[in-house]
């Protein structure tokens, strides 16, 4: 893959922990890569795993889901549900042939601005290696 | 018209010689056979009972763009096929070919459909007579047969070592002249063999239905209980209609990617509830009983009333592929009895 | 195996008692290697019922396929039960329905039939060719006796039984009100070797395989409609707002459709393999479902359709769930 490929990554961050963590990274003037486009959701349990598929179809090269650490969920158990769903969807996508590095999940709390930066760096470098997502992106071929 | 023969090993050369045309022919993938555009002549096969998907998809594709537009302007870019895209379709079974002459009436009716008609005009249809009909073929009951020529431009007969090619219309001359060396001339003996082949194939067709009276009888069964026998076990899937060579219903949807959009049409089927669902939420065909009834009645009653011909060619696909053993011959037979 | 007379008598008894509104079973088809599922409402039709190795369909699908129109004012809805004949695999669908509270236990009367396997139409056609007449087949311990086109033959089980039967873990119904016939011995096990084999391939190889398979799909939705677990009133693939997947058939939309379908069966698929059987384009749909079944078993030690008291997999959690993939 050429090095100038800048991946487009969609990040679904939970309102209470990860979004606040990303905010902390910003307010503490930590520089993190701009490839992750953040969508704030109320809870990682809100993320229907089909959001991942839909994002990949619409042009994302990778998807990051991030929520509170297990046990810390604002809604007590949302991230436990998210964890089960994510693991299965991750396996399913892998079986279809999607590079497993494209889809990742992390636990980032509101105080972990530095961890958020690391998570973003990891997924960006992983997706850079995986290259552009061109398997089932909606193309305009037959238009 | 002309009589020719093609040695079986020369078929790839024959396809290669047709480089002025886009060639479509059946391609085998595992156990499924489907028409595809042929870039590599060795992929084409003429050794199959029938294709899973009928060649209607070549004139009326599963999904096709009607026109494109940009959200910010009022211009549209129509996507009607041009005159230049001349095509040869090789290996159409006579039943599927007959379906074209039925569907032609619909697409040439009150609003002529330029997409379908243009592709039909541009295509040279080369049939392939059946030697071994499938167990559920009943084409002879509907005016067809293993070597029915309407509306083919030419027809091939598999005579063992070689194919006998009989040209039928003037249109086929264009492709015969470009085929060159691959074709040899044939004479009376090949023609006699071909007639014999068609005759013996016709005798192998076991299933029949007498269609007299069915178009008149079906409307009187509109509220009859007998439909529930079938609809109770119908899954409401689209196999019978999508794979039917004469089914021609479509849906039109707009698809937008950022500022670019297209209006596309895609196959639709009366077996889906969404097909008749109104915006209000009302559905005039609320259950599978009405939908099953509509499928059969449309083919065997509404269409003949309007166009004078039954919209079924007896290819047997809806029987072969039905997951729950619904048998259109059985349905029609019962409809005559009740 | 079950004596068909016992089956018919039981059906008559249940239907004439007036406690059920319909009975779902199988009857002889009019052609080919497969029987026809049937829905009967009257004891007089019970003589059509059969059970043999051609009864491939899953009658549990037809419980939820029943369409209920709004009842006219002044009339009461028919709240009588539904009776259903089930093989081992089919019974798991009923259990899973109960887990998901698609209906309650009192709504169904289950006639459980031990089964020695059903035949695969595709395999049979390769051996015997097409069958214009309905075929009779009896699965026995050491082979399948099959009557095609007037001739009786015996073939080995491996040659003709459906793949699901060759790795069947539940030949006897896991739930039933009226067990009919003697229980049969379990003869096989499932090691998911086909899935593990495919897992070893690289993402490129996997995608090359699926690209070819998914591009064949004509989106007739037979796999969805036949699935006993697909009983949503409104399916995500036909929703327009939001439109999760477009109706147009191309590689992108087909892939997404198949991922959606498989995903919605995660931890719910009971492996009756109906989806793969009905596919007119021979897409190996079960490969996706079996992957999920294997993972669900390995990761969460969960098996759908076995215990009617269980919690649905994705509506429950365990704080100790594995999280090796999570940063």
Q: What is the ipTM of this complex?
A: 0.93
DSSP-assigned letter for residue C187: -
Cβ-Cβ contacts under 8 Å, A142 against chain B: 63, 65
Residue C236 touches partner A, C-beta closer than 8 Å: yes
Q: Indicate whether A136 belongs to any domain.
A: no
Residue B67 touches partner A, C-beta closer than 8 Å: no
Note whether B218 and B183 are same-domain residues. no
Q: Which of residues 43-82 of B touch C (CB under 8 A)?
A: 52-53, 62-63
pLDDT higher at A134 or A41: A41
Q: Indicate whether B209 belongs to any domain.
A: no
Note whether B145 and B258 are same-domain residues. no
Note whether B313 and B260 are same-domain residues. yes
Q: Indicate whether A79 belongs to any domain.
A: yes
Q: Indicate whether B302 belongs to any domain.
A: yes
Domain span at A121:
9-130
Cβ-Cβ contacts under 8 Å, A143 against chain B: 65, 68, 260, 262
Q: Which of B204, B236, B271 marks a domain boundary?
A: B204
Residue A142 touches partner B, C-beta closer than 8 Å: yes
Cβ-Cβ contacts under 8 Å, B61 against chain A: none
Q: How confident is the model at residue A139 (pLDDT cuts 50, 70, 90)?
A: confident
Looking at chain B, the whole-number percentage of residues with pLDDT higher than 90 is 76
pLDDT for position C172: 94
Note whether B25 and B157 are same-domain residues. yes
Note whether B41 and B177 are same-domain residues. yes
> Taking residues A28-53, what's their average pLDDT?
94
Note whether B164 and B18 are same-domain residues. yes
Given a cut of 90, whether residue B302 has pLDDT beyond it is yes
Contact B65 A140 (CB under 8 A): no
Residue C247 touches partner B, C-beta closer than 8 Å: yes
Chains that touch A (3 or more CB pairs under 8 A): B, C
Total number of domains in chain B: 2
Given a cut of 90, whether residue A126 has pLDDT beyond it is yes
Given a cut of 80, whether residue B198 has pLDDT beyond it is yes
CATH number at residue A53: 3.40.50
CB-defined contacts A:C, below 8 A: 117
Q: Indicate whether A71 belongs to any domain.
A: yes
Q: Indicate whether B21 belongs to any domain.
A: yes
Nearest to A97 among C207, C236, C327 (CB): C207
Given a cut of 60, whether residue B33 has pLDDT beyond it is yes
Apex C290 CA angle, C286 and C295, nearest 5: 155
Locate the chain A residue with the closest alpha carbon to B79.
Answer: A143
Contact C65 B286 (CB under 8 A): no
Contact B235 C131 (CB under 8 A): no
Contact B257 A138 (CB under 8 A): yes
Secondary structure of chain B in HEC code, one letter for each residue: CCEEEEEHHHHHHHHHHCCCCEEEEEEEECCEEEEEECCCHHHECCCCCCCCCCCHHHHCCCEEEEEEEECCCCCEEECCCCCCCCEEEEEECHHHHHHHHHHHHHHCCCCCCHHHHHHHHHEEEEEECCCCCCCCCCHHHHCCCCCCCCCCCEEEEEECCEEEEEECCCHHHHHHHHHHHHCEECCHHHHHHHHHHHHHHHHHCCCCCCCCCHHHHHHHHCCCCHHHHHHCCCCCCCHHHHCCCCCCCEEEEEEEECCEEEEEEEECCCCCHHHCCCCCCCCCCCCHHHHHHHHHHHHHHHHHHHHCCCCCCCCCHHHHHCCCCCCHHHHHHHHHHC
pLDDT for position A17: 95
Instruction: Write down the pTM of the prediction.
Output: 0.94
Q: Indicate whether A141 belongs to any domain.
A: no
Q: Which of residues 54-73 of A touch C (CB under 8 A)?
A: 54, 57, 70-71
> Taking residues B222-232, what's their average pLDDT?
91
Over the stretch A66-97, which tens digit does the pLDDT of each residue have?
Answer: 999 999 999 999 999 999 999 999 999 999 99
Note whether B186 and B333 are same-domain residues. no
> Taking residues B203-218, what's their average pLDDT?
92
pLDDT for position A2: 52
Q: Which of B160, B178, B204 marks a domain boundary?
A: B204
pLDDT per 10-residue tile (average), chain C, 327 residues? 87 94 94 94 93 94 90 91 95 96 94 94 92 91 91 92 94 94 90 93 94 94 95 90 90 94 94 94 94 94 93 92 85
Q: How confident is the model at residue B173 (pLDDT cuts 50, 70, 90)?
A: confident
Note whether B43 and B186 are same-domain residues. yes
Domain span at B272:
214-337
> Taking residues B317-337, what's their average pLDDT?
93
Q: Which of B183, B204, B225 marks a domain boundary?
A: B204
Note whether B154 and B200 are same-domain residues. yes
Note whether B113 and B178 are same-domain residues. yes
Contact A82, A47 (CB under 8 A): yes
Contact A127, A7 (CB under 8 A): yes
pLDDT for position C323: 85
Note whether B197 and B298 are same-domain residues. no
Q: How confident is the model at residue B200 (pLDDT cuts 50, 70, 90)?
A: very high
Contact C67 B253 (CB under 8 A): no
Under 8 Å CB-to-CB from C319, ≥6 apart: which residues?
A70, A71, A80
Note whether B130 and B171 are same-domain residues. yes
Q: Indicate whether A19 belongs to any domain.
A: yes
Cβ-Cβ contacts under 8 Å, B261 against chain A: none
Residue B336 touches partner A, C-beta closer than 8 Å: no
Total number of domains in chain A: 1
pLDDT for position C1: 65
Residue C35 touches partner B, C-beta closer than 8 Å: yes
Among the listed ranges B119-133, B180-194, C178-192, C210-224, which one has the minimum average pLDDT value? B180-194
d(CA B280, CA C223): 29
């Amino acid at each position: 893959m050429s090095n100038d490929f800048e991946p487009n990554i969609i990040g679904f961050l939970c309102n209470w922990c990860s979004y606040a963590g990303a905010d902390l990274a910003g307010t503490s003037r930590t520089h993190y890569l701009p490839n992750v486009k953040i969508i704030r959701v109320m809870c990682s349990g809100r993320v229907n795993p089909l959001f991942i598929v839909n994002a990949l179809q619409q042009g994302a090269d990778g998807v990051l889901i991030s929520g509170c650490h297990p046990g810390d969920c604002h809604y007590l158990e949302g991230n436990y549900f998210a964890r089960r769903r994510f693991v299965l969807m991750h396996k399913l996508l892998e079986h279809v042939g999607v590079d497993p590095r494209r889809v990742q999940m992390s636990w980032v709390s509101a105080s972990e601005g530095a961890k958020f930066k690391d998570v973003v760096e990891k997924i960006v470098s992983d997706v850079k290696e995986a290259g552009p997502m061109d398997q089932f992106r909606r193309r305009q071929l037959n238009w | 018209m002309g009589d020719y023969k093609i040695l079986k090993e020369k078929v790839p050369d024959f396809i290669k010689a047709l480089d002025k045309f886009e060639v479509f022919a059946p391609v085998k993938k595992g156990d499924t056979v489907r028409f595809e555009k042929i870039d590599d002549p060795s992929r084409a096969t003429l050794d199959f009972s029938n294709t899973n998907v009928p060649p209607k998809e070549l004139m009326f594709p599963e999904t096709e763009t009607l026109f494109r537009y940009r959200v910010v302007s009022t211009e549209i870019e129509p996507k009607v096929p041009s005159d230049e895209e001349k095509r040869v379709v090789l290996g159409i079974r006579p039943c599927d070919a007959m379906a074209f002459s039925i569907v032609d009436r619909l697409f040439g009716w009150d609003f002529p459909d330029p997409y379908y008609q243009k592709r039909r005009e541009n295509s040279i249809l080369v049939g392939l007579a059946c030697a071994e009909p499938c167990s559920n073929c009943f084409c002879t009951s509907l005016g067809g047969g293993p070597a029915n020529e309407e509306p083919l431009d030419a027809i091939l007969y598999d005579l063992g070592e070689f194919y006998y090619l009989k040209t039928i219309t003037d249109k086929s001359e264009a492709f015969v002249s470009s085929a060159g060396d691959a074709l040899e001339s044939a004479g009376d003996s090949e023609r006699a063999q071909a007639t014999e082949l068609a005759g013996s194939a016709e005798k192998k067709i076991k299933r029949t239905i007498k269609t007299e009276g069915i178009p008149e009888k079906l409307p009187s069964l509109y509220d009859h209980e007998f439909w529930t026998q079938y609809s109770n076990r119908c899954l409401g899937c689209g196999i019978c209609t999508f794979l039917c060579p004469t089914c021609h219903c479509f849906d039109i949807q707009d698809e937008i990617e950022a500022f670019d959009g297209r209006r596309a049409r895609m196959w639709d089927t009366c077996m889906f509830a969404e097909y008749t669902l109104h915006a209000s939420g009302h559905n005039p065909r609320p259950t599978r009983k009405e939908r099953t009834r509509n499928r059969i009645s449309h083919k065997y009653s509404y269409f003949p009333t309007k166009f004078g011909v039954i919209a079924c060619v007896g290819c047997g696909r809806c029987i072969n592929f039905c997951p729950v053993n619904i048998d259109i011959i059985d349905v029609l037979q019962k409809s005559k009895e009740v | 195996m079950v004596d068909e007379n016992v089956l018919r008598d039981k059906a008559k008894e249940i239907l004439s008692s007036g406690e059920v509104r319909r009975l779902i079973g199988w009857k002889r088809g009019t052609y080919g290697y497969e029987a026809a599922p049937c829905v009967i409402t009257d004891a007089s039709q019970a003589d059509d019922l059969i059970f043999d190795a051609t009864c491939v369909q899953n009658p549990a699908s037809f419980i939820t396929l029943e369409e209920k129109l709004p009842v006219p004012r002044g009339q009461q809805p028919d709240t009588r039960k539904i009776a259903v004949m089930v093989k081992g695999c089919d019974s798991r669908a009923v259990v899973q329905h109960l887990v998901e509270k698609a209906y309650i236990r009192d709504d169904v009367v289950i006639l459980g039939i031990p089964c020695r396997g059903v035949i695969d139409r595709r395999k049979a056609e390769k051996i015997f060719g097409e069958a214009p007449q309905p075929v009779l087949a009896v699965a026995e311990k050491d082979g399948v006796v099959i009557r095609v086109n007037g001739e009786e033959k015996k073939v080995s089980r491996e040659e003709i039984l459906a793949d699901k039967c060759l790795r069947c873990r539940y030949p006897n119904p896991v739930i039933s009100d009226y067990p009919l016939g003697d229980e049969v011995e379990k003869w096989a096990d499932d090691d998911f070797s086909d899935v593990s084999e495919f897992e070893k391939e690289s993402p490129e190889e996997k995608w090359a395989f699926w690209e070819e398979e998914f591009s064949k799909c004509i989106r007739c939705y037979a796999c969805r409609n036949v699935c006993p677990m697909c009983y949503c009133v409104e399916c995500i693939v036909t929703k327009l707002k939001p439109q999760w997947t477009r109706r147009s058939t191309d590689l992108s939309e087909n892939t997404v459709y198949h991922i959606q379908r498989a995903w919605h069966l995660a931890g719910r698929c009971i492996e009756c393999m109906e989806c793969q059987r009905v596919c007119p384009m021979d897409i190996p749909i079960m490969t996706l479902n079996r992957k999920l079944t294997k993972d669900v078993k390995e990761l969460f030690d969960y098996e759908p359709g076995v215990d009617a008291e269980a919690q649905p997999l994705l509506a429950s959690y365990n704080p100790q769930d594995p999280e090796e993939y999570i940063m």
